[in-house]
Amino acid sequence: GAVVSQHPSWVICKSGTSVKIECRSLDFQATTMFWYRQFPKQSLMLMATSNEGSKATYEQGVEKDKFLINHASLTLSTLTVTSAHPEDSSFYICSARVTVLHSSYNEQFFGPGTRLTVL
Amino acid sequence: RKEVEQDPGPFNVPEGATVAFNCTYSNSASQSFFWYRQDCRKEPKLLMSVYSSGNEDGRFTAQLNRASQYISLLIRDSKLSDSATYLCVVNSGGRRALTFGSGTRLQVQP
């Protein structure tokens, strides 16, 4: 299947700092990427939908000024957690969707995730 | 009510057992259905899509009942390597992201 990478795979930072997470589709172009967050023993929760060349669409309850998303190219989306606090500590996972024109094929491929710990 | 509901488990079964997971979804307009597998501290990986006619992939059988808005996954002859969390996933169509259930944890014991 298609490959999606994330960097970094884990990060530990001090409270108040900003952390940038990159999501790349390695062998395909993705006009749409998604950012999820997963707390321990809970399901993946969609944070935002990242569209290449336009503003991201945020889910209810997700602060767009705190979680900055940039999708500058068809293979790269970034999530920046600004002024991180301990409650932002979580597993952040991106996914990229492969779509085929005139087809219902619509599979998402997930990055390996980034584990953020804010002290 | 959650959009996708699953029994969190854990299901503790011996090797070789048959185990079934169930899932219900609330959005009757949902169009695509999947089972994903997630290992501890890893990303989810697609196990199989679920079709109305039911589909089988080796030891795994998935079924969909649109009238009852119910999805199932059957695992036969469980292996130790099947131990993971199984996520029921629904796509409501269009350009939307996937909606994940909270997952059912399976632990296969020797």
Q: How far apart are CA B32 and CA B88, in angstroms?
A: 11
Q: Which of B73, B77, B6 is nearest to B34 (CA)?
A: B73
Beta carbons within 8 Å of A112's beta carbon, 6+ residues apart: A5, A6, A9, B42, B43
User: What one-character DSSP code corresponds to residue A54?
Assistant: S
Integer Rg of chain B from CA: 13
On the question of pLDDT at B95 being above 60, the answer is no
Where residue B85 falls among pLDDT bands split at 50, 70, 90? very high
- The pLDDT, as a whole number, for residue A104 is 56
Q: How far apart are CA B110 and CA B107, in angstroms?
A: 10
Task: Report the pLDDT averaged over residues A3-18.
Answer: 95
Chain B neighbors of A104, CB-CB under 8 A: 32
Supply B88's token pair: 């029921």
Mean pLDDT of chain A: 89
Do B37 and B43 touch, CB atoms closer than 8 A? no
- The pLDDT, as a whole number, for residue B93 is 66
pLDDT, tens digit, 9 for 90 and up, residues B23-68: 999 988 888 899 999 998 889 999 999 988 889 999 999 999 999 9
- The pLDDT, as a whole number, for residue B75 is 97
B19 CA to chain A: closest CA distance, Å? 21
- The pLDDT, as a whole number, for residue A35 is 96
Q: How far apart are CA A66 and CA A63, in angstroms?
A: 5
Q: What distance, in Å, lies between the first and last C-alpha atoms of chain B? A: 37
Is B103's Cβ below 8 Å from some Cβ in A?
Answer: yes
User: Residues in chain A, how many?
Assistant: 119
pLDDT, tens digit, 9 for 90 and up, residues A28-72: 888 889 999 999 888 889 999 998 888 899 999 999 999 999 988
A38 CA to chain B: closest CA distance, Å? 10
A99 CA to chain B: closest CA distance, Å? 10
Residue, of A97 and B5, whose pLDDT is higher: B5
Contact check, Cβ <8 Å, B99/A1: no
Contact check, Cβ <8 Å, A108/B97: yes
- The pLDDT, as a whole number, for residue A17 is 96
Where residue A103 falls among pLDDT bands split at 50, 70, 90? low
Torsion angle of the four alpha carbons B92, B72, A98, A75, in this order, in degrees rounded to the nearest 10? 100
Is B67's Cβ below 8 Å from some Cβ in A?
Answer: no
Where residue A102 falls among pLDDT bands split at 50, 70, 90? low
Name beta bridge partners: A82.
none
Nearest to B43 among A34, A43, A113 (CB): A113
On the question of pLDDT at B22 being above 80, the answer is yes
Q: Which of B109, B83, B84, B106 is nearest to B14 (CA)?
A: B109
3-state secondary structure of A86: helix
For the ranges A17-21, A101-105, B102-106, which has the lowest average pLDDT? A101-105
Supply B77's token pair: 């002859």
Supply B96's token pair: 């939307």
Chain A interface disruption, residue of B98, B99, B105, most A CBs within 10 A: B98
Beta carbons within 8 Å of B2's beta carbon, 6+ residues apart: B26, B101, B102
Supply A19's token pair: 């952390």
